[in-house]
Structure 1
């Protein structure tokens, strides 16, 4: 990927900062430090939690969908508290792994305003839910007049199928405070369901992927 520019964190316009998160953890992994800095700047932050992440362990007897549906939103709350992010989190309850089947409904549920700055996962991020969220959010932003900025999550990870799609793309590298970067690394530890191996199955958040998300920089599509 080709960084187009180094950009500071905000400030954005007078409206809200809205982040559309396909699963609990996407907002922290990709933009936790940015959100923390925006919160300190006084921005109102609204997070749409599109799914509850209940599909992350499809063959597990320990992490059942019901347990994940209860636990993963709590993990997000703990991570936001670690970063001292004051945010309104609105859970939409769409089915994990099947957001694409509800794309039009999602676009209607996103109550965006013309002065909002909206962040959403990249439309080519290599996960069907991430890409469906992008399409729905971009449609809602066009209808409302809100500004929309995409960010990569899985595409940042070398070796992931979507990573090649970033080659040659112009990116913005966000200059985040080292204090917030350190807090983000601590906040990621809140996602215990995604960090622990389960009955011989590796964790969802692998050490290789974590090493990317824990770097002292965050990325936006230009």
Structure 2
């Protein structure tokens, strides 16, 4: 099967019960927030869509807020393609709603910050990777730790954002940390397509998990059925369940 086709996002995906029963995650080496973002460094989360910052590293952001590390969030798109063909959620409404949801989610995590919004087209980042890379180079600093979606995550926007971040980090002297979001959906426990050899497990406190779950709930546009199309929530039940894990996994 073609590698790209294999990463297609279909159905409900691998359940959280399946992942929780796999001993491989417990065997991953542990990394602490202060190791990921050392003193004097800035954490920069580059999110392809509003909600990716929380689904990827929401727990880490809560921990960084508690220890006073500087945090920046860069919103690549405003997520206006999440409800194609919907009259309940037209592009104009999503453009207003999703950034507002993101701000609310960050507040739940303990961060009173306004994301930098690049306004690039949702669903069109693959063709604009060079432009995105240039934008990121202008925003990053040497010593930044850049968190973004994995370059083989399965969503074209996630992959293009990861690729642009890798190029921009190399150009500016920042450090790249990739995080799987949809990779958990299409892959299976022990899947050789996941780079377990460079995976680390970040334990989360009960309070960080609680705040992350609250932050996910802020994205109400993604959690409701669409009456105009009959479609279910954009964020599947499996995705929401994964957000309640007492840990996050990052690729270094």
Q: TM bucket by the smaller chain?
A: over 0.9
In the alignment, structure 1 segments of 5+ residues that lack a partner are none
1:106 matched to which residue of 2?
A: 132
- 1:54-107 Cα deviation digits (max 9, x unpaired): 000012110011111110000011111111123341000000000111111111
State how many pairs are aligned. Answer: 220
Whether the 8 Å contact between 2:48 and 2:75 is mirrored in structure 1 is yes
- Structure 1 stretches of 4+ with a deviation exceeding 4 A read 161-164
**Alignment of 1:7 onto 2:31:** yes
Show the counterpart of 1:145. Answer: 173
Q: Which residue does the alignment assign to 1:21?
A: 47
Counterpart in 2 of 1:196?
Answer: 224
Quote the Cα distance in structure 1 between the aligned partners of 2:140 and 2:198.
26
List aligned pairs for 1:152-191, cutoff 5 A: 152-157=180-185, 160=186, 164=191, 165-166=193-194, 168-191=196-219
Aligned to 1:126: 154
Q: Which of 202, 207, 217 does residue 237 from structure 2 map onto?
A: 207
Structure 1 length as normaliser, TM-score?
0.93
Kindly indicate whether the alpha-carbon contact (under 8 Å) linking 1:126 and 1:161 is maintained by their aligned counterparts in 2.
no
| Secondary structure class of the residue paired with 1:150 | strand
Give 1 or 2 for the bigger CA radius of gyration.
2
Q: Once the two structures are superposed, what CA deviation does each residue of 1:21-76 show, in whole Å capped at 9, x if it has no partner? A: 00000011121110111122111111110000000001211001111111000001
Give the counterpart of 1:60 among 76, 80, 86.
Answer: 86
Q: CA deviation at 1:209?
A: 1.8
Cα RMSD for the two superposed structures: 1.7
Compare the two structures and name the one with the higher strand fraction: 1
